[in-house]
Copies of this chain bind each other. A is one copy, B any other.
Amino acid sequence: MTIDPLAMTCPAPLRGGDTVLLGHGSGGQLMAELLADLVPVLGAEGQDDAATVHMASPDVVISTDAFVVTPRFFPGGDIGSLAVHGTVNDVAMMGARPVAISLAYVIEEGLPMAELREVTASVARAAAAAGVRVVTGDTKVVGRGAADGLYLVTTGIGTPIPGAAVSARHGAPGDAVLISGPIGLHGITILSTREGLGFESEISSDSRPLHRLVAAMVEAAGSSVHVLRDPTRGGLASALNELAAASAVGVRLDEQAVPIPAQVAAACDLLGLDPLHVANEGCLVAFVHEDAAEPVLAAMRALPEGAQACRIGAVVADHPGRVVMRTLLGSTRVVDMLIGEQLPRIC
């Protein structure tokens, strides 16, 4: 009798249960099973370790972001939707249309499988809503205590919008400083949810994709849109300081014009925070040639994500690299970057 080894099967192989095991990151059979579970949700192919994406032009915009937010689920989103929006927005802030994203997971052993599936489904929903494809990814599992549940890293690629000429260095004296909506919602939501402060019952994160808003702005004003930035970690103050430094210009804000929701203002008062330092995930600040400011504002207000767009200041030749604000009291104060740490793991 000849034994045919192909006809033999092992005894019941090791299988994962309700939680992620180290073996799910092994490159072996458990990982293949995990990927067979997750990859179809994302709509990716999964047979190669990479993907080929056909872009509209050989100029490719690329941006990467790690997401370590805690808690992973919060009013207005979760780590999955946040990862998609954050990367879509960073690509968009270059004046580009996001096309595809990659997704890497760093998972702590013991993460409930249901939570991994829920986050993955959220990534898929957010990507579909933004019109980008998740094309490739990676999965690593580390032991208990070597991560805090789940971290995601997304990298986006996109195509420059024809006619766009956006850069942190393109700000010019005389430009209008525009903002697409109210500030502080993401940071206060995360802080309040984490600490159980109660504000989260009234507000939610502004996490959302902004690439359609950018496309509308560029369509309205072409290269007159000089600078775009989403003021995430470090808030509006840090973003404006970075842009002032990159463009070697000054920025003059009008405090009265900066849209701060009442709940954000109340929370900041209570906690001793400056709303200008609180993180946002769904608004953008733009430096736009003065002649284009009104058409751009009109284009922004035509979209839900820009409905509350307004002018908050101007770019000036004075004090290059510095941001100042005319306060409600009529005095002027320097608006500095966030120093140190206001709230870790906000995104």
Contacts and interface: CB of A to CB of B under 8 A. Distances in A.
Contacts of A90: 49-50
Nearest to A93: B49
A317 interface: no
B52 A94 contact: yes
A319 interface: yes
A104 B10 contact: no
Decide if the interface of chain A is mainly helix, strand, loop or mixed: mixed
Contacts of A234: 26-28, 31
A63 to B, nearest CB: 3
A246 B47 contact: yes
B168 A47 contact: yes
Interface string A133-149: 00111111111011110
A6 B324 contact: yes
Contacts of A100: 62
Contacts of A48: 93-94, 167-168
Nearest to A334: B5
B233 A106 contact: no
A59 B60 CA distance: 10
Contacts of A29: 238, 336-340
Interface stretch (A153-161, A264-272, A307-315): A153-161
Query: Size band of the A side of the interface?
Result: 35 or more
Contact of A322 (B6, B10, B233): B6
Interface stretch (A17-25, A115-123, A194-202, A203-211): A17-25
User: Which of A21, A62, A145, A342 has the largest count of B CB atoms less than 10 A from its CB?
Assistant: A62
A341 to B, nearest CB: 4
B60 A157 contact: yes
Copies of this chain, complex-wide, total: 2
Nearest to A105: B66
Interface of A: 5-6, 8, 10, 13-14, 21-23, 25-32, 47-68, 90-91, 93-94, 96, 100, 102-106, 135-143, 145-148, 151, 153, 155-157, 160, 167-169, 229-230, 232-235, 238, 242, 246, 277, 279, 319, 322, 324, 332-334, 336-342, 344-345
Given A54-B59, A151-B106, A324 B5 contact: yes
Contact of A51 (B13, B61, B104, B146): B61
28 contacts: A10-B339, A23-B340, A25-B341, A26-B234, A27-B232, A27-B238, A28-B277, A29-B339, A32-B242, A47-B167, A47-B169, A47-B246, A48-B168, A50-B61, A50-B63, A50-B156, A51-B61, A52-B59, A53-B60, A54-B58, A55-B60, A64-B137, A68-B146, A104-B155, A106-B153, A143-B344, A151-B151, A155-B155
